[in-house]
Chains A and B, each alone.
Chain A
Amino acid sequence: MAQHKVNYTQNAGLPVALTTIDKVVNWGRSNSIWALTYGLACCGIEMMASGASRYDFDRYGTIFRASPRQADVMIVAGTLTKKHAEFIKRLYDQMTEPRWVISMGSCANTGGMFNTYATVQGVDRIIPVDLYLPGCAPRPETLQYGVMLLQKKIRAEKAIKSQKTKRLM
């Protein structure tokens, strides 16, 4: 366990730390990215492995939630079929702002090898995507790196400014 020691004496002897509201809010948001369990195919296995004890997503504050209303990020892990497309849109709409989407694996990125009538050729045709992870399937390390990049992206956002609703169109 990492121990966070705050040296209260460093700022001229005062137990005071100065920062901006943006930074505080983004610090909170980026370190509690609750993910919607969205395993659609074999990438879901890698996503589950990332959540389990060996790779331990909890230390990033990424806890899998089964409800879109409690989730901040949707990790689309697997092949999105055309029949399922309307449901992913509905679940995305049910998530509260601010929300992010990670497209995990080739199938979610581009349809992958399923160049067929029944597969959506990239989840970004339905919902706006923040991060594309390559791989078939990506290893848990890749997903962890992706989450860290998403944290970096969140930290760069303006938290207090009115959130621009993310829409594909």
Chain B
Amino acid sequence: MRAYTPKDDVQAKSYYTDRFYVAPQVPKQDVLSDEVFTADLEAIKAKFEVLEAYIQVEQMVVYINAKDNVDVIKLVKEELDYTQLSEMSAIDWIAKSGQFEIFYQMLSMGKRKRIRIKCFISKDEAINSVEKLFRCADWSEREMYDMFGIEVNNHPFLKRILMPYDWEGYPLLKTYPLEGDEFAAWYEVDKIFGKEARDIIGPEIRDTARVDRYDSERFGRLGHEVPKGTKITGNEPKTPLAYQEEGGVFLIDRFDEEKSVIITDRNR
């Protein structure tokens, strides 16, 4: 369980605005503290270079060289019984070291253990595909390409998976703004109406809390509705809730609030 921290003055603290705040690391243990992992690591070390290895949250993390990734995963899958690739993706460390960190999260149902195999590639380097070993890596690698722009060698169908095919930019890069760049802001307008429509349609309103009480084009104010395009003065009379014209409508009953009854007795 997470240790309790007092939260009385949590609002007054400014730690969340500290741009240089470094989150405390989860403690790491030595691999030797677990027999199964020790044996696994020995098997990997016998054939490949291991840069770093430790246990974190009962899972072994192994850093290898990027060129060995397919062979290591093949060894781990076929000889060490880690038969499932739960997840794989990349982490953007470009600002720190100009590298992407690629991780493969693997699960052994037989040993009831999880290991994470990690490697670094530089910004314009490609990684080899593990799709031949795990079919699930097909879409994961496409997503990695879609979100980070990391190219994957030997992939059968390397194409964007979530974003449109004609999208520019890679949204999960830390340099990519959350609200999108200029291409993203005008994507649908450019595609459907053409660039000349930008002036007519206008920029996106990104402030969700923005309320223009004089705007009768986009929204009516509940209870003070006016017809579209009317100039609002701010002194509109309150309009009662009405879904029918005063005179009623042909063949349609009008709900009379006076006649309505609230039923309280279930067994009436």
Which A residues lie at the B interface, using CB under 8 A?
2, 4, 19, 23, 27, 31, 82-83, 85-86, 89, 109-113, 115-118, 120-122, 124-126, 132, 134, 145, 148-149, 151-152, 155, 168-169
Contacts and interface: CB of A to CB of B under 8 A. Distances in A.
Interface residues on B, range: 35 or more
A132 B184 contact: no
B218 interface: yes
Interface in B180-209: 180-181, 184, 187-189, 191-193, 197, 200-201, 204-206, 208
Interface stretch (B42-50, B59-67, B151-159, B242-250): B242-250
Given A83-B163, A132-B219, A110 B205 contact: yes
Contacts of A151: 243
A85 B208 contact: no
A126 B251 contact: no
A115 B179 contact: yes
Interface of B: 163-164, 171, 176-181, 184, 187-189, 191-193, 197, 200-201, 204-206, 208, 218-220, 222, 243-245, 249-253
A89 B192 contact: yes
Contacts of A27: 249-251
Nearest to B189: A125
15 contacts: A4-B251, A27-B251, A31-B252, A82-B164, A82-B188, A83-B163, A85-B192, A86-B192, A89-B192, A117-B177, A117-B181, A118-B180, A118-B184, A134-B222, A169-B193
B201 A111 contact: no
B208 A113 contact: yes
Nearest to A31: B252
B249 A116 contact: no
A117 B220 CA distance: 27
Identify whether the interface residues of B are mostly helix, strand, loop, or mixed.
loop
Contacts of B218: 122, 124, 132
A155 B252 CA distance: 13
A86 B191 contact: yes
B208 A110 contact: yes
Contact of A118 (B171, B201, B204): B171
A169 B201 contact: yes
Contacts of B164: 82-83
A101 B244 CA distance: 20
A152 B245 contact: yes
Contacts of A83: 163-164
B250 A23 contact: yes
A10 B186 CA distance: 61
Given A27-B249, A110-B205, A169-B201, A152 B193 contact: no
A125 B206 CA distance: 13
A118 B163 contact: yes
Contacts of A121: 204-206
Contacts of B208: 110-113, 115
B73 to A, nearest CB: 31
